Structure 1
Amino acid sequence: MPTSRRTITILAITGAVAVIAVVAAVVLLVGQAPEPPGRGTKIVASDLSKAADAATRAADGSPEQAAAKYLSAQPTAVWLTPEGDPTDVVGERIAGLAAEARDQSARIAVVVYGLPERDCGGHSAGGLDGDAYLEWTRAIGDALHEAADTSPLVILEPDSLALAPECGNVDERVEQLSAAIETLAGDSTWIYVDGGHSNWLAPAEMADLIDSVDRASRGDGERGIRGFVTNVSNFQATDDEVAYAHDVAGRLDGLHAIIDTGRSGAGSNGEWCNPPGRLVGEPGGTIGDDVVDTNLWIKPPGESDGDCNGGPAAGQWWPEAAVELTRDVVAD
């Protein structure tokens, strides 16, 4: 008796289900493909942050302690510098962050900040020479590979590209950043290069700089970056940054963006170094669309921008700033 169409259909469905089951089993065995950041992304809130340390040192019940406690609980990127995390210890630092991330069911987000002539001699001057910088970033890349299960995010050298035209070192920066990308890249690592902010370079100029790094870093191979990051250590309003990111990305080929909203709550007054009257912005992972992967807190609120407007040296904890930034979210 010939096989009926109904029987053939049933056999086809049964076979398809079997194939799906096999594929699902393989995925479970080898692990799911890493997901890019998006709305709902949660990064680690490290117990070793300066905010956490400040919370233990401040007087009990003081506004400084309340602000520090609040900020220490917020998922915030961790800055890696050669001064604080040299080549021989940076791997251990990342391993510790990975352990914290696993405990919190979160991801690592690190800022790599140590390239030669960093900040063009400004408030955050420093960094390594060329060979030492590559050795340092290679150590970071190796450690991130070991932490691949946390699907790390890397913010690579804030201000490096947007500042380059002013510093007159565009070609040098492109070469340095593209080489660093090669040492940091991994199948589960998502790298974002500097994208300035909406009140700095014009979108076309910023896109050209990003495109130069993108092309140099991939050569004839696969793309090494996910995209670019805007508003790092700045105060621009989130809506302005979203519009800017779309404008910049529209001039590039498939790159995405992340926005720093750590201190964007009151927008900008035009100053970039410890401006008064600012507020923390939207919590990380609360926005996202087809261009903007999501927002994160990247510059830790409460840490100084530099010796300006009454602040201490760049990166140092400033209790008064922490209190001011959190005045709308921390009860008196």
Structure 2
Amino acid sequence: MVRTPRPSRPRRRVPRPLLVIGSVVAVVALLAGVSMVGSLVTTLFQTLSARPPAVDTRIVAPDESKAAQAARAGDRNADQNAAADWLATQPTTYWLTPEIDPVDAVWDRVAHLAAEAREQDAALSIAIYGLPDRDCGNHSAGGLDPESYGTWTARIGDALGNASDIQKIVVLEPDSIALSSSCGSPADRASYLRTAVDNLRGTDTWIYIDGGHSAWHPVDEIADLIRATGLLPSVRGVALNVSNYQDTAAEFAYAHALSDRLGGTHALIDTSRNGAGPAGTQWCNPSGRLVGSGGGAYGDDVVDTNLWIKPPGESDGECNGGPPAGTWWPASAVELTREQR
């Protein structure tokens, strides 16, 4: 009996264009996979390499600071120009306010500061100062309504997230917690601050909330105010002595006492204008003050480091002969830098 071979199944011919398309899709998928893996590796590396501020941290000297603007103008007397020139080169925190950097412009400002940080091989340090009912109607009154504040801080957070390759230090709303009890709005302020923290946190972003200073609230009192915000442990720590003049040693002691009460939270200390110490109880443009130690000079297991947070040469407000808060004041710049030039 002769077996008749069964016919083999005919091969399906794939048109050449489909073969090409399939090959392209496979390559694209491979590259996408490689890209995704590369992105994950980069993110992991950035996360693992992130380190909090410490001794020797150097922050940006912003080219759009008010000192830098005054230095470029060069339209004052010799001492005032020299003071502006020197201060313009000093690493100093840049203050983001909605009056100068509104919602539609703040992303670009942060991106510019981040580019400067890369150029200067430095960390980016910003103070965010736009809280609703800011300064409780005092010299620095202003700020945004709650909805706009959420939008504004989200824009800032997006810009910070776009700069994942650099270290970012955020001083969030100086005076906001220390003033909250006298303003009668602790719960509202805590809610605004929590929104801001949610919007701002990200890779290598170190957030410090307001901790007042050693001559303001007793340590137990400020610890209670901070604890009530619900912001710990989602932030790195507290910023102390911002825009004030207290001795560095006093602030270190205060930071340690506060850390003991708050479960080991860390601190930054503003030394921008405390070179001559405080002037009694005066805080608004006291005379005879000096710039303090440059940023990154000190630190320990609680105090991450010191920084210049309040820009020297900017007024505290319309007091003791000063112009409105935040305005460049040439006479103050000269006085603060008299031993540096």
TM-score under structure 1 length normalisation: 0.87
Task: Give CA-to-partner distance per residue, 1:138-195, whole Å, 9 cap, x none.
Answer: 1111100011211100000000000111111111111111121111111311000000
1:257 to 251, 267, 274: 267
Please name the residue that 1:115 is paired with. 131
Please name the residue that 2:22 is paired with. none
1:179–1:217 CA contact under 8 A, matched in 2: no
Does residue 1:286 correspond to 2:286, yes or no? no
1:56–1:65 CA contact under 8 A, matched in 2: no
Please name the residue that 1:307 is paired with. 318
Aligned runs of 1:125-140 on 2, under 5 Å? 125-140=141-156
Does residue 1:224 correspond to 2:240, yes or no? no
1:96 to 95, 112, 115: 112
Gaps of 5+ in 1: 1-25
1:149 to 157, 165, 179: 165
Task: Give CA-to-partner distance per residue, 1:45-66, whole Å, 9 cap, x none.
Answer: 0111110111122348700011
Please name the residue that 2:19 is paired with. none
Question: Matches of 1:61 and 1:82 in 2, distance apart?
Answer: 32
Question: Matches of 1:114 and 1:134 in 2, distance apart?
Answer: 10
Question: Matches of 1:164 and 1:106 in 2, distance apart?
Answer: 33
Task: Give CA-to-partner distance per residue, 1:196-218, whole Å, 9 cap, x none.
Answer: 001000101111122222xx347
Does residue 1:67 correspond to 2:83, yes or no? yes
Question: Matches of 1:77 and 1:191 in 2, distance apart?
Answer: 13
Please name the residue that 1:236 is paired with. 246
Q: Which has the larger radius of gyration?
A: 2
2:296 partner amino acid: G
1:249 partner amino acid: S
TM-aligned CA distance change 1:165 to 1:257, over 3 Å: same
Please name the residue that 2:6 is paired with. none
1:235–1:268 CA contact under 8 A, matched in 2: yes
2:330 partner amino acid: P
RMSD: 1.6
| Cα offset, 1:236, TM superposition | 0.5
Please name the residue that 2:226 is paired with. 210
Percent of counterpart pairs with the same letter? 56
TM-aligned CA distance change 1:308 to 1:224, over 3 Å: same
1:210–1:228 CA contact under 8 A, matched in 2: no
Question: Matches of 1:162 and 1:127 in 2, distance apart?
Answer: 17
Aligned runs of 1:9-88 on 2, under 5 Å? 30-31=45-46, 32-59=48-75, 62-88=78-104
Question: Matches of 2:227 and 2:181 in 1, distance apart?
Answer: 15
Question: Matches of 1:274 and 1:134 in 2, distance apart?
Answer: 32
1:182–1:217 CA contact under 8 A, matched in 2: no
Question: Matches of 2:44 and 2:137 in 1, distance apart?
Answer: 50
Does residue 1:200 correspond to 2:216, yes or no? yes
Question: Matches of 1:28 and 1:115 in 2, distance apart?
Answer: 31
Question: Matches of 2:258 and 2:55 in 1, distance apart?
Answer: 20
TM-aligned CA distance change 1:29 to 1:166, over 3 Å: closer
Does residue 1:160 correspond to 2:171, yes or no? no
Gaps of 5+ in 2: 1-40
1:255 partner amino acid: T
Bigger Cα displacement from structure 2, 182-191 vs 279-288: 182-191
2:45 partner amino acid: V
Does residue 1:181 correspond to 2:191, yes or no? no
Question: Matches of 1:204 and 1:154 in 2, distance apart?
Answer: 25
Question: Matches of 1:160 and 1:59 in 2, distance apart?
Answer: 36
Bigger Cα displacement from structure 2, 56-65 vs 302-311: 56-65
Question: Matches of 2:73 and 2:155 in 1, distance apart?
Answer: 33
Question: Matches of 1:217 and 1:242 in 2, distance apart?
Answer: 22
Question: Matches of 2:119 and 2:168 in 1, distance apart?
Answer: 15
Aligned residues: 299
TM-aligned CA distance change 1:60 to 1:129, over 3 Å: closer
2:258 to 240, 248, 252: 248
